[in-house]
Chains A and B, each alone.
Chain A
Amino acid sequence: MAMEKRLQKELQALVNDPPVGIKVDADQIGQNLSEWLVNVDGAPGSIYNGEKFQLQFKFGSRYPFESPQVVFVGPNIPVHPHVYSNGHICLSILTDDWSPALSVQSVCLSVVSMLSSCKEKKRPPDNAIYVKTCSKNPKKTRWWYHGKQCYHSEYKTSLLGMSSMGINT
């Protein structure tokens, strides 16, 4: 199967030659490779320096043609404007901008780089309502990606609604 063959190669590369701060625990990965846990370190020099995070990857049978589900799990979910307290990440390469040339490694590096560019530890503005109403699968969320802010679509709709009513947000 194409998905397993490719994941096997990715796993091998990540175990043999891992980038700094990224470590996959191969023993935790089941036989069919469809679920991985990757340990990610906050980058030195960033406000997450010294923190340890864990990313969970879930691969469907159409991987790499379809993106994996990627969420933060475990005791330490980074406090970041694009990371919800339930671990969901608002990052366009995980949905709209996915490409089969991306990989577990490049996704991890993108997430670390997203964390590193942050100056202030803050949750997304719509965190409370999102974690109450979202699907378990972050790919089912309709994300709106625009520069610094990140909203799921229901929140955006309500924002637009408020501004059309003359309420400043």
Chain B
Amino acid sequence: MGNCLKSPTADDISLLRGNDSQDGSEASSEPPPPYQESVHVPMYHPAPNISRPASQLTEEEQIRIAKRIGLIQHLPTGIYDGSKKIRECVICMGEFCVGDAVRYLPCMHIYHKECIDDWLMRSFTCPSCMEPVDAALLSTYET
């Protein structure tokens, strides 16, 4: 028991000392550490042209965004296999490649999953036909 308690304490001190002296020498002899990206703060879009971090959203906006994330997860996704008529994602204007992750909207327009999810977080409409996505979702649930 005595050993168990003692050894970690001794170790801790030696580690601290070691670190201290190392840090000191590093600071004096080497340039500061390379630039590191500051912690990524996710931005949310309570409206299409507004971007705010989560900490600056009202409670109402937080709830709406949480609901939105839930609804987006309900929309079917797939892997592009080259068989669809739509060949280009109108958001990035890039052609679909076999193997790309795509998401289908109720109006049957398809987009890269990454592209459309970014848009749906701002506006819950189809970029191509402006059809509101939630209305279509609700009606498919009713039937």
B-contacting residues of A (Cβ < 8 Å)?
A: 2, 5-6, 9-10, 62, 64-67, 95-101, 103, 139
Contact = CB atoms under 8 A, between A and B. Distances in A.
A97 B123 CA distance: 10
Interface residues of B, number: 17
B125 to A, nearest CB: 7
Contact of A10 (B49, B93, B119, B127): B93
B1 to A, nearest CB: 60
Given A99-B130, A139-B49, A65 B122 contact: yes
Interface in B99-143: 115, 118-119, 122-123, 125, 127-128, 130
Contacts of B93: 6, 9-10, 103
Nearest to B122: A65
18 contacts: A5-B92, A5-B94, A6-B92, A9-B93, A65-B48, A65-B118, A65-B122, A66-B48, A67-B48, A67-B49, A99-B125, A99-B127, A100-B91, A100-B115, A100-B119, A101-B90, A101-B128, A103-B93
Of the listed residues A5, A6, A10, A101, the one surrounded by the most CB atoms of chain B closer than 10 A to its CB is A101
A10 to B, nearest CB: 7
Contacts of B55: none
B51 interface: yes
